[in-house]
Chain A
Amino acid sequence: MEEKIYNSQNFVPNKKKIQRPPIGTYIMLILYSLYILVPFYIIFISSLKSIQEAAFAEFTWYPTRGVTWGAFKRVFESNEIQRGFVNTLTFYTPVTLVSVFVSALASYGFAKMEWAGRNAIFSFLLLTMMIPGCVTMTATRLMYDTIGWIGTPLPVMIPGMFGGIGMVFFMRQYMKGIPDDLIGAAKIDGMSEIKIFLVLIIPLSVPALLTQGVLSFIGHYNDYLGALLYLIDEPLYTLQIAIKNMVDTYRTDLPAQMAACFLGMLPMLLIYLFLQNYILKGISMSSGLKG
C-alpha cells in the first residue's frame, strides 16, 4: 500500500469540507439568543393576560385564564399612541429624507471634488463628533426658548436637516469607490456637477443611502431624550414620550403597559427584519476601519 505523502508539490487544500464547530458552540449561541428573545416573549405574553391575572396572580409563562386582547384595546382607546405615532412619522420622515439628501450632497463634495478648505472642514466636522451631547443640552434648550421654537416641532426637525456628520463620513467612504473616469466622462459630455450628482451619483449610491436612511430613521423613531427635552407640549408628544406617559398613567394596568411597549417596538423590528442586510452591513462598516 502506498502511503500518500503531502508536500508542497502535491498538497491540495481541502476547501470544500468546512469544519463544523462542536455542539457546545451551538448551545452557547442558543442560550445567548434566548437571553435576547425571552424578554420579548415575556412582554408579549403579559400583554395578553387579563388585568386580574396580571395584578393578583404571580408570574406565569402563559396566560392561565385565557388570552385576551383587551390590553391592546385599552391602549388604542386613549388615542395617545396613535397621535404619538402620527407625530413621529410627520416629524421624522421629512428630517430623514432631507438629511440623507443633504448628507449625500456633502459627501460627494468631500469625496470627489477639489476645493480649498475641503480637508480642514472635514476634519473639523469629525472633531465636532467628539463633543459630548450633554454639554450643550441645557444651552440648546435655552436657545430654542429664546427664538420661540419650544411649542413647535422645529427643534427635532431643523437641526437634522443639515445632514448628519456620521452619515457624511460613511457615504464619503462609499462614494470614493465610484470611479473617477465615470465622472470625467460625464463632464466631457457637458454635464454640470449637480446633474452628475443627481443622475449618476445618487443611483450609484442607493445601497449606502438606503442603509444610512434606515439607520437614521430608526434612531429618530427611538429617540427619547431629544423629544423629552424639546417637545414639552402634549399635542407634540412623539410615540416614545406617549408610551412613557402611558406607562406612568396606567400604573395598575400591567397588560396595557406591556401592550404599549410591544406596539412601540414592533414597527422598527419589522423594518429591521426586512432590511437587515443593509442595516448589518452599515453597522459593520460604520467603524470606519475599512476605508
Chain B
Amino acid sequence: MEEVVAASDVIEYTDSKDNDIFAETKLFKQDIATAARKRRKMQRNIIGWLFSVWPFVGWCIFGGIPFILSIILSLAELHNFDITNFQFIGFDNYKWIFTDQKGEFWFSMRQTLYYCLSLPIGIFLGLGTAVLLTRHVKLTKMFRTILFIPNVCSVVGVSMMWKLVFHRQYGVVNAILLAMGREFPIDFLGDPDWFMPVVIFTTTWGAGAGSILFQAALEQVNQSLIEAAEIDGASKTRIFFRITLPAISPTTFYVVTMNTIGALQAMANIQILASDGRNPLDPKTGNSIPLTAVYFIYWMAFNQPMIYGLGKASAAAWVLTIIIVIITRINFKLGDYWVCYDN
C-alpha cells in the first residue's frame, strides 16, 4: 500500500530526470517531491497516531497517574480518601511491613502462597481433560461447552454456590459424609484446617479455560512426528511425554505464568467464601486478619483505614508486586529449561 501512496512522487521524479536542460526546474521539482513525501509521511504519522493512540492515552490517565500516585502514597501517611490530609513520612511504611511484630502481611502472604497450590491441580485437570477430548470422543462439542461454563459465571454466584455446597448444616458434602457414617458435620469454611483446601478445590472447578487452550495446542501438534514415533514402536506414554508435552510447552508456560499472576492476586472468592473474608484461623481472639495479600491490602485501605491507612496499603501492594515480579522472573528463567518453541 505504500507504493501506491508514493506513486505520484515517482512519476514527478522521473519526469524531471529526462530534461537536463531544465536543471533548475529538476531541482525545484525534486524539492517539491521531497517536500510532498515528507508531508505525506507526516500526514501518515498523524493519522496513525489518531487511530492508535487511544489505549495509550487511557492507560496514561487511568493507569499511569495511579501508578505514580501509589509510589508517592507508599511513602506517606493518609487515613482517608482526602488528599489534603497527605503527610510525607518516608520509608516508615516499608519498615512497618518488614519489622511488624505480628507479621500480618507475611501471614497473608503465606496464605496466598498456600492458595497457589491450586495451580498445579488446575493445570493437571485442564491438560487431562484436553488430552481426553482430543481422542476423537463423541460429543466433544458438548463436553467442551460444559468445561468452560465455570468461566462465564460471576465470582459472587460461584462462591455463594460453593458456600452452600460446603455448608455445615445444609451442605451436600456434609449430608453425604453423614450418610456414610460420620457422626458430626464438618464446618468446612470455619475450620482452619479445612478452609484453604476447600478454597483450592473450588478454584480448580474453573480449570476449563486452561483446558480450552490446551485443546487448541494439542490440535496443532505435528501428527507426522507422532506417526513416525508409532512406526518406530514407541509406547503411547513415551510419545506423550517425549513429543506431545514438549510440543505444547509454550501453551503450558502461558497458562502457568498467567495463572500464577492471577492466583497471587486472589481476593474476591476468598472474601465471599470466608465469612467476610476474615481469617477463620483465629476466630476467638477477634483480631483475625484477612487471608490473602490483596485482600489484606484492600482491608487496610478500605475497611480499617484508621488503624492501617492508605500508605501502609500502598507499601504492601508494592511489596506484593515485587514478589510477583520475582516469581514471574523465576518462571521465565525456569521456562528456558522446559519450554520448546521450535516445532
Q: Do A and B bind each other?
A: yes
Interface residues of B in 64-109 (CB under 8 A from A): 65-67, 69-70, 73, 78, 81-83
- Residues of A within 8 Å of B279, CB to CB, are none
The answer, yes or no, to whether B56 is at the interface (CB within 8 Å) is: yes
CB 8 Å contact bits of B291-305 with A (1 = contact, 0 = none): 001100110011000
Asked if residues A132 and B265 are in contact (CB atoms below 8 Å), the reply is: yes
- Interface pick from B28-36, B114-122, B188-196, B312-320: B312-320
Contact assessment for A115 and B47 in the assembled complex, using a CB-CB cutoff below 8 Å:
yes
Q: Residue A43 at the B interface, CB < 8 A?
A: yes
Of all chain B residues, the one with the shortest Cβ separation from A244 is: B156
Binary contact readout B154-193 vs A (1 if CB under 8 angstroms, 0 otherwise): 1111101110110001111011001000000000000000
Check B165–A247 contact: CB distance below 8 A. no
* A-chain residues with CB within 8 Å of residue B255 when the two chains form the complex: 287
- Given A184-B4, A284-B212, decide whether A134 and B317 contact each other with a Cβ distance below 8 A: yes
- List B contacts of A225 (CB < 8 A): 267-268
Known: A36-B146, A118-B48. A244 touches B272 (CB 8 A): yes
Asked if B251 lies at the interface with its beta carbon under 8 angstroms from chain A, I say: yes
B138 within 8 A of partner (CB): yes
**Residue numbers in B under 8 Å from A168 (CB-CB):** 55
1/0 per residue, CB under 8 A from B, across A259-285: the answer is 001101100110111001001100111
Are A159 and B58 in contact, CB atoms less than 8 angstroms apart? yes
- Asked if B63 contacts A136 (CB within 8 A), the reply is yes
A285 to B213, CA, bound (A): 8
A58 and B175 in contact, given A280-B144, A287-B254 (Cβ under 8 angstroms): yes
Give chain A nearest CB distance to B5 CB in angstroms.
7
Task: Flag B218-245 by CB within 8 Å of A: 1 or 0 each.
Answer: 0010000000000000000000000000
Q: Does B149 contact A (CB under 8 A)?
A: yes
Given A59-B174, A132-B324, are A37 and B146 neighbors across the interface (CB < 8 Å)? yes
Chain A contacts for B302, CB-based, 8 A: 141, 229
Q: Quick one: given A25-B132, A287-B213, are A42 and B69 in contact (CB under 8 Å)?
A: no
B301 touches A264 (CB 8 A): no
Chain A CB within 8 A of B337 CB: no
Across the interface, do A164 and B55 meet the contact criterion of CB distance under 8 Å?
Answer: yes
Output the least CB separation between A269 and chain B (Å): 6
Closest CB-CB distance, B248 to chain A, in whole Å?
10
Q: How far is the CA of A284 from the CA of B209 in the complex (A)?
A: 9
Chain A residues, Cβ within 8 Å of B151: 283
The reply to whether A36 and B147 contact each other, CB–CB distance below 8 Å, is: yes
**B27 interface hit (Cβ, 8 Å):** no
B203 at the interface (CB under 8 A from A): no
Q: Which residues of B contact A285 (CB under 8 A)?
A: 216
Across the interface, B49 reaches (CB within 8 A) one of A21, A35, A115, namely A115
Nearest B residue to A158, CB-CB: B62
Inter-subunit contact B138/A105 (CB<8 Å): no
A224 within 8 Å of B (CB atoms): yes
Instruction: Count residues on chain A whose CB falls below 8 Å from chain B CBs.
Output: 106
- Is there contact, CB below 8 Å, between B51 and A142? no
- A102 in contact with B55 (CB, 8 Å): yes
The yes or no answer to B113 lying at the interface (CB within 8 A) is: no
Given contacts A114-B48, A137-B317, A264-B157, contact A142 B83 (CB under 8 A): yes
Q: Which residue of B lies closest to A59 (CB)?
A: B175
B44 at the interface (CB under 8 A from A): yes
**How far does the alpha carbon of A123 sit from the alpha carbon of B278 in the complex, in Å?**
40
Q: Check A287–B251 contact: CB distance below 8 A.
A: yes
B59 near A128: Cβ-Cβ < 8 Å? yes
Q: Is A25 a contact of B317 with CB atoms below 8 Å?
A: no
Bound together, the chains give a CA A288 to CA B322 distance in angstroms of 26
Contact between A276 and B148, CB atoms less than 8 A apart? yes
Contact digits for A144-182, partner B, Cβ 8 Å, 1 yes 0 no: 011000100000001101111100100000000000100
Q: Which residues of B lie under 8 Å from residue A5 when comparing CB positions?
A: none
Q: List A contacts of B287 (CB < 8 A).
A: none
**Alpha-carbon distance between A279 and B246 when the two chains are bound, in angstroms:** 27
**Identity of the chain A residue whose Cβ is nearest the Cβ of B162 in the assembled complex:** A39
A115 touches B148 (CB 8 A): no
Interface residue B338 (Cβ < 8 Å from any Cβ of A):
no
Tell whether, in the assembled complex, residue B314 and residue A138 are in contact, meaning their CB atoms are under 8 Å apart: yes
**Bound Cα distance from A228 to B154, whole angstroms:** 14
Q: Is B21 an interface residue, CB under 8 A from the partner?
A: no
Known interface pairs A113-B44, A134-B265; A269-B212 also in contact (CB < 8 Å): no
**Shortest distance from the beta carbon of A142 to any chain B beta carbon, whole Å:** 5
Does any Cβ of A come within 8 Å of B53's Cβ? yes
Chain A, Cβ-Cβ closest to B63:
A128
Does A140 contact B62, Cβ atoms closer than 8 Å? Answer: yes
Cβ distance B39 to chain A, nearest Cβ, rounded Å: 14
A residues 95-132 near B (Cβ < 8 Å) are: 102-103, 105-106, 108-110, 112-118, 121, 124-125, 128, 130-132
Decide yes or no whether A29 CB sits under 8 A from chain B: yes
Beyond the given A59-B172, A109-B52, A118-B52, could you list 17 further A-B residue pairs with CB under 8 A, ordered by the A residue number? Answer: A21-B136, A26-B137, A105-B51, A106-B55, A109-B48, A125-B59, A135-B317, A135-B320, A138-B297, A142-B66, A150-B81, A163-B54, A258-B164, A276-B145, A279-B152, A287-B216, A287-B251
Sorted from nearest, which 3 A-B pairs have the closest CB atoms? A162-B58, A115-B48, A109-B52
